[in-house]
Amino acid sequence: GRVTDPATGQLLAGEYVVGWAKRGPSGIIGTNKPDSVETVKMLLEDAPRLLRAHDDPAAPAAIEALLRERCPRFVTYGDWGLLDKIETKKGLEQGRPRVKFTNVAHMLDAIEGARPKRTTDSSD
């Protein structure tokens, strides 16, 4: 559902939660689907009032720059594509459709290792 500021009780525009973050640690994976559907309906109701990032061509780059500044390890859509290839390759080696990572740090390390290496121009 929509997120409220605990200090003021006011809704925080554009912030939403689902699953355990919304209800606390109860239920199973299947419990989250109807919960997610409800939250997405709220998001769609709010969409006309929210700043739309796609209207600002600099927004995606600004978000990525902010994440890089704060230094969390995050996964981009391009990284997800790499992860898909890694998991599919591991699966083929074992006669399965794919092999999923069960450890986030290992997954992030694998993505990092699969990213194209950046080269630097020494003439800069």
Q: Does a structural domain hold residue 6?
A: yes
Residue 80: predicted pLDDT: 92
Residue 85: predicted pLDDT: 96
Residue 102: predicted pLDDT: 93
- What is the tally of structural domains in the chain? 2
Domain of 106 in residue numbering reads as: 73-114
Which residues of the chain, if any, have pLDDT below 70? 51-57, 118-124
Q: Does a structural domain hold residue 119?
A: no
Q: Does a structural domain hold residue 122?
A: no
Q: Does a structural domain hold residue 109?
A: yes
**CA-CA distances (angstroms) from residue 38 to 15, 85, 107?**
14, 32, 30
Residue 57: predicted pLDDT: 67
Q: Does a structural domain hold residue 12?
A: yes
Long-range residue pairs from 22-28, CB within 8 A, at least 24 positions apart, any chain: none
Q: Does a structural domain hold residue 68?
A: no
Predicted model pTM = 0.46
Q: Does a structural domain hold residue 124?
A: no
Q: Does a structural domain hold residue 58?
A: no
